[in-house]
Amino acid sequence: MDENAPLKERVSADMSAEDFRRFGYQLIDWIADYLEKIDERPVLPSIRPGELRAQLPQMAPERGEPMERIIADIDRSIAPALTHWNHPAFFAYFATSASAPGIFGELLSAAFNVNAMLWRTAPAAVELEEVALDWLREMIGLPPEFEGIIYDTASISTLHALAAARESLNLRIREEGMAGRADLPPLRVYASEQAHSSVEKAVIALGLGQRAFRPIRTDEQFRLDVSALRRAIEDDVAAGALPCAVVATLGTTSTTSLDPVAEIADVCHERSIWLHVDAAYAGVAAMLPEKRELFRGWERADSIVTNPHKWLFTPLDLSAFYCRRMETLRRAFSLVPEYLRTDERVRNPMDYGIQLGRRFRALKLWMIMRYFGRAGLQARLREHCRLARDFAAWIEREAEWELVAPVQFSVVCFRARPDRALSGEELDALNERILNHVNSTGQAFLSHTRLNGRFTLRLAIGNMRTGEEHVARVRELLSQALKENVKDLPRISP
Ligand SMILES: *Cc1c(COP(=O)(O)O)cnc(C)c1O
């Protein structure tokens, strides 16, 4: 390129419409190929920390580069350095899928680039958010008293829930803060010891102090023990503390266990404590009539979070937050500078949280619900539960494996238990070696947790591309890994 040649276009110009079309078609083709043949890639990249960075220039280019070169680099360097969450053999954490209508929704929302801070700045985004969340609320069987708002993640939804809970105490914390106040009792937040770390983080972020978080014992099925909750609340109140909120989890992160939310709601109602339900993963399964019973009582919560980006085929990120006391949430956060004042009688999303600017997230969720329909979404969730049950049945049949927790949805917690003379620690080490062995093949990606102090393997099904063949392959890989790693271990002497 001749450096002194005058620019043909205005210096502020974007890519031409013609090029946008050309590269747009090319990229859509690239994505279609990527998704169609993702099975041929290893789930986990064989890459060491820093390896990608070392391949890329240390500084941004001085002059623009042709799109062809950028796309070629994505193909050659970036994609191979990814852990492929859309891979059908991704069984780690909670498996998720970015469905095609969701991908289109993301593309359009970037093109519109609206900032949905106010109704005025993005009427369609604000109203579509209400429509999409009403549809989802109805599908999962919550009453219309629950109003919804979209945040990025469940962690942020729970932070807002606990901020609203604190505001509901009417302690003038919004105005006066919490520091140096003799009139303020220490606040307490309760959740089971299986609750997600985001609850404790929210307690820290809100300045309640980490000690305000009270983890409550769980039973043998990893469900919050309600009598232990009652005792903890009584002890705290006797000691002069003030219960601020209880977080019940429906679908815990390790085992997808379900806290007895109806009984927890009784405790909260007796004592007027805010009840927040964390159903980040499992909440969407309430759209299955055969699972609805597991959620009985959650409709009595003050607030509920569920994440379409976890198990409703929505590209990251989109967390649905429902609250029956939106005015309290608004009281906690609304602060309107002059330049953002408008006179419409509307709901302005910026009044319900920390952030001002907001992406148009509702579009992808609305497109997904329309494209698959209720029945289509239900069928996919059901299939994932069926695959998980089948896998669990295999574990139960095999003498050398055992289930470690009940299978409620699409996650199976299990471990190897061969008939060898092994201490608890040796058994842990064996299971860890099996996990690493399977993951190193690139043919599947599983993760682990610790239950009752013991190393536990986890298989999570949530990808739309996962079929019986992928689960069958995992069974083979696990059997091989067990055989390899157990062969030199001493047998139990007869
Ligand atoms: C995954 C998960 C979260 C955190 O979700 P983010 O959206 O990543 O913040 C919170 N709670 C539960 C029960 C989860 O499974």
**Residue-level pLDDT at 6:** 56
Range of the domain at 27: 18-44+83-98+373-494
The residue whose C-alpha atom lies closest to atom 15 belonging to ligand 1 is 253
Residues 439 and 296 in one domain: no
User: Mean pLDDT across the stretch 391-418?
Assistant: 97
Q: Is 443 in the pocket of ligand 1 (CB under 6 A)?
A: no
Residue 366 lies inside a defined structural domain of this protein? no
Distance 135 CA to ligand 1 centre (A): 22
- State the Cα–Cα distance between residues 132 and 366, nearest whole angstrom: 5
- Tens digit of pLDDT for each residue in 76-90? 999 999 999 999 999
Based on the domain organization, do 436 and 482 belong to the same domain? yes
pLDDT given at position 10: 67
| Angle, vertex CA 92, rays to CA 199 and CA 433, nearest 5 | 110
Residue identified by tokens 């829930």 is 161
Residue 381: what pLDDT? 98
Question: Considering 326, 359, 392, which residue would you say is the last residue of a domain?
Answer: 359
Report which DSSP code applies to 338.
G
- Residue 254 has a CB neighbour count (10 Å cut-off) of 18
| Number of structural domains found in the chain | 2
141-192 pLDDT, tens per residue?
A: 999 999 999 999 999 999 999 999 999 999 999 999 999 999 999 999 999 9
CA 156 to ligand 1 centroid distance, Å: 9
Beta bridge partners of 456: 449
Which of the 8 DSSP states describes residue 75? Answer: I
| 410 closest CA partner among 343, 470, 344, 463 | 463
CA of 155 to the centre of ligand 1 (A): 6
Using a 10 angstrom Cβ sphere, with 0-12 exposed, 13-18 middle and 19 or more buried, the burial of residue 406 is middle
User: For residue 455, what is the enclosing H or E element?
Assistant: strand 454-460
Q: Which tokens belong to 27?
A: 């990229």
Residues 161, 91 share a domain: no
* Count of beta carbons in the 10 Å neighbourhood of residue 325: 18
Instruction: Identify whether 52 is part of a domain.
Output: no
Per-residue pLDDT at 4? 58
Q: 8 falls in which pLDDT band (50, 70, 90)?
A: low
Nearest 5 degrees, angle CA 256-CA 257-CA 258? 115
Of 218, 201, 223, 219, which is closest to residue 210 (Cα–Cα)? 201
In a domain, residue 347? The reply is yes
Summarize pLDDT for 321-350 with one digit per residue, the tens: 999 999 999 999 998 888 888 877 889 999
Residue 466: CATH number of its domain: 3.90.1150.170
For a ligand 1 pocket test, name from 85, 94, 155 the mutation site with the most ligand atoms within 8 angstroms of its C-beta.
155
What CATH code is carried by the domain that includes residue 189?
3.40.640.10
Same domain, 336 and 474: no
Tell me which DSSP letter residue 109 carries.
H
Whether the CB of 152 sits within 6 Å of ligand 1: no
For 45-49, 235-239, 445-449, which range has the lowest pLDDT when averaged over its residues? Answer: 45-49
Distance CA 60, CA 56 (A): 10
pLDDT of residue 494: 61
